[in-house]
Amino acid sequence: MNLELSEEDKAFQSEVKEFLETKLPGRIRDKVLLGKNLTREDIVEWQGILNKKGWLAPNWPEKYGGAKWTAVQNHLFDEASWQAGAPRTIPFGLNMLAPVLIKFGSEDQKQHYLPRILDGTDWWCQGYSEPGAGSDLASLKTSAVRDGDHYVVNGQKTWTTLGHYADWIFCLVRTSSEGKPQEGISFLLIDMKTPGVTVRPIILLDGCHEVNEVFFDNVKVPVANLVGEENMGWTYAKYLLTHERTGTANVGNSTAALARLKAIARQQMSKGKPLSRDPYFAARLAKVEMELEALKTTNLRILVEADSGAAAGPESSMLKVKGTIVRLEINDLARRAIGTYALPFVSEALEEGYNEQPIGPVYANAIASEHFNHRKMAIYAGSNEIQRGILTKTKLGL
Amino acid sequence: MDFKLNDDRRMLSETLDRFLRDNYTIDKRHEFAASPEGWSRKMWQDFADLGIIGALFSEEQGGFGGDGDDIMVVFEALGRALVVEPFLPTLLAGSVLAEATGEAAALHLEDVISGSKLLALAHGEPGARYTLEHVETKASEDGGTYRLTGYKSVVLGGGDANILVVSARTSGAMDEENGISLFLVDPKAAGLSFRPFGTVDGYAAAEIILDNVEGELIGKKDAAYPLVEAAYARAILAVCCEALGAMEVAKDLTVEYMKTRKQFGVIIGKFQALQHRMADVLIEIEQMRSAVINASGNLNSTRKKREWYASAAKHMAGTIGRQVAEEAIQIHGGMGMTWEYPVGHFSKRLVMVDHLFGDTDHHLARFIELGE
């Protein structure tokens, strides 16, 4: 075994760092590092810069614009991006829909949709969860009934992240009530501008608008927008869930967050000493750092193995559970680190162009609201309980 | 970056696993542990003949391994079988002896690697707890001869060693890193007495009392601390790997039990309250494996990195070991409490490993200190 980066990987790492230093706009970087709200335009701008370099969809096949990165290179890019304060790319089109289209879509669909994802023409969102179908996703009820060249879609999706920015939504819809619930689901692409589609905001605990409800009232969708075969959507959805694993463990994000937390703990004073020297605080910090150091290796072991052709599998469930536990513990420590200045909440201070004197240290402004926002991590993409259930079946054979 | 074992290590692993499967059942283990010496001379010779002792030392030291990967492969397998033979004392004392004697290491280790002689490192003392720099035992020079006086506690393999490596203070205060030296001591030397005992989890150790005992200085006078620390880092890696092997078996035995034990008309593996706890055990064991890989991969890094990752691994071996041990017993219920059923012995080892080479709290504090 060998934990050292190869010369090739070191060169790649330098190239990524230099790219981030020269190409990431300072305006966007500052917003990310201070936890301010990014606009749709900010994200489109950054994705455009990545696309120009050919790094927006590194894991797509080369002929569609991929960069042929190894698992280690993906990890290095992820880590460097978080450290530099780059926005995360929006995964719905790039990492969720695209692999499904590439694997199961028609040639026409690939030719039409993939370039538009890359150049930012289409912003995609995900239509999976419903009010009655959360962890039990297969019980979803939004229906698509065939009527000539169209499906007529009725129902409701929820928790639709950035749906208010989206041009398109990929949906799991019910096309049959025969057999097991999983067997009657199809994968449908819907233009958000179609009559009968309504988006309503859901405001979360942090006071921000990030997720939405999407209603479908007799929405006509061309049959050409079906991906793969009718009633095979569950298979595609499962493929999608295990396909993109680089970010599952959150190690790049957690590493950057831990570095920031340490910097805060050195600045915050407690009983005349830096908080970093408080033995209780230092012990909690050290424990999470040990976990993260191990998780980095767990993550790489799993990704490198998957890279070498081993089946994508339940290991991503481990990464999801441990990754979110570590990430949320870092947030908890960050919130505690800023003491009473976790309390003030000035929502305008999180927007670009806020020029007033912040209440408390500037790094403290977003920490508490981020704590509440990030709580979603242990719930989305299959709650940690669902992940433990998957591990029970697949890895323990129970 | 590469997380695969090379062919030699894979072969070593397979050879040792097969040998242990065929010769080292849990009943055999109990038999060896219950014998007067507390372990088996015959097994030790078999291990030596298989090359397992040689795998712990480099070619310059007369072995054919000695890397982190060798330690990982060997000790994980030993942990899976709860082997009671004196591998840990051999690695600990052998490493320190090899470093102290340099070019002459192979000469000193030849009989150890062949299985004919046993080594032990007498370093810890009653007042030291887990701090390595705390040495009260004194060595005084008189006409070119050193004489040692002091008390060495819980010396692993101490009662059986043919050669003792003993640390003693030649200068400085009792908790100073500087001023510690190493001596070769003949266990039969005048003034040396033993109180051998078995540990609660089945291993042989001894208290050693030195009263004006002659010793031969090895390595540089006053400068042994870095050697001792580096040897302990190797021993920490080894015991963490042993714990990892024991964790895997405890988990597998528990999952097997969950598939067969029925209550309320169903196998208990159907109960979600138990399933999720075992899923957590599974995740934690993967984390332990990664911590061990980190410690192994940094064995030859800078001192700070080596010790930082060693402390992380040892802390995690303590916390995860306890979690795995407790869940294994709890899910087995009364069966986990019996001597007859194997799982409890793995749990016992996992709990007691925390008392070797520094416990969870010791290494947490050390990890913080090293990270500053």
ipTM of this predicted structure: 0.96
Check A391 against B316: CB less than 8 A apart.
no
Distance in angstroms (rounded) separating the CA atoms of residues B16 and A120: 57
Q: How high is the pLDDT of residue B213?
A: 98
Chain B positions in Cβ-Cβ contact with residue A296 (cut-off 8 Å): 290
Q: Which of B228, B241, B185 is nearest to A1 (CA)?
A: B241
Distance in angstroms (rounded) separating the CA atoms of residues A28 and A84: 11
Rounded mean pLDDT for each run of 10 residues along chain A, 398 residues in total: 94 98 97 94 98 96 94 94 96 95 97 97 97 94 97 98 98 96 97 98 94 98 98 92 74 96 96 96 98 96 78 80 97 97 92 90 93 94 93 95
The DSSP call for residue A87 is: P
Chain B positions in Cβ-Cβ contact with residue A3 (cut-off 8 Å): 1, 293-294, 297-298
The distance of B259 to chain A (nearest Cα, Å) reads 7
Distance in angstroms (rounded) separating the CA atoms of residues A206 and A9: 39
Q: How high is the pLDDT of residue B372?
A: 85
Is B364 touching A (CB cutoff 8 A)? yes
Q: Which of B1, B258, B272 sits opposite A304 (nearest CB)?
A: B1
Is A1 touching B (CB cutoff 8 A)? yes
Distance in angstroms (rounded) separating the CA atoms of residues A77 and A31: 20
Chain B positions in Cβ-Cβ contact with residue A318 (cut-off 8 Å): 282-283, 286
Is B300 touching A (CB cutoff 8 A)? no
Chain B positions in Cβ-Cβ contact with residue A291 (cut-off 8 Å): 287
Is B275 touching A (CB cutoff 8 A)? yes
Which position has the token pair 């042929």? A68
Q: How high is the pLDDT of residue A303?
A: 86
Q: What are the tens digits of pLDDT across the range A137-147?
A: 999 999 999 99
User: Residues B138-168, buried b or exposed e (16+ Cβ, 10 A)?
Assistant: bbeeeeeebbbbbbbbbbbbbbbbebbbbbb
Q: Which of B5, B69, B290 sits opposite A297 (nearest CB)?
A: B290
Return the H-helix or E-strand segment holding B73. Answer: helix B68-81
This prediction's pTM: 0.96
Check B1 against A283: CB less than 8 A apart.
no
Burial of A176 (0-12, 13-18, 19+ CB in 10 A): middle
**8 Å CB contact between B82 and B213:** no
- The backbone torsions φ and ψ at residue B349, rounded to the nearest 5 degrees and listed phi first, read -60, -45
Percent of chain B's residues with pLDDT above 70? 100
Q: How high is the pLDDT of residue A312?
A: 55
Distance in angstroms (rounded) separating the CA atoms of residues B226 and B99: 10
Distance in angstroms (rounded) separating the CA atoms of residues A53 and A15: 12
**Six-digit token string for A381:** 């993409």
Q: What are the tens digits of pLDDT across the range B113-148?
A: 999 999 999 999 999 999 999 999 999 999 989 999
Sorting pLDDT into bands at 50, 70 and 90, what band is B174? Answer: very high
Q: How high is the pLDDT of residue A353?
A: 87
Distance in angstroms (rounded) separating the CA atoms of residues B182 and B174: 15
pLDDT exceeds 70 at position B2: yes
Q: Which of B2, B275, B288 sits opposite A1 (nearest CB)?
A: B2
Give the bridge partners for B120, in sequence order.
Answer: B164
Check A297 against B258: CB less than 8 A apart.
no
Distance in angstroms (rounded) separating the CA atoms of residues A384 and A141: 24
Is A305 touching B (CB cutoff 8 A)? yes
Q: How far is CA A35 from the centre of its chain?
A: 16
Furthest C-alpha separation in chain B: 80
Q: Which of A286, A300, A391 sits opposite B1 (nearest CB)?
A: A300
Q: Which of B272, B279, B364 sits opposite A396 (nearest CB)?
A: B279
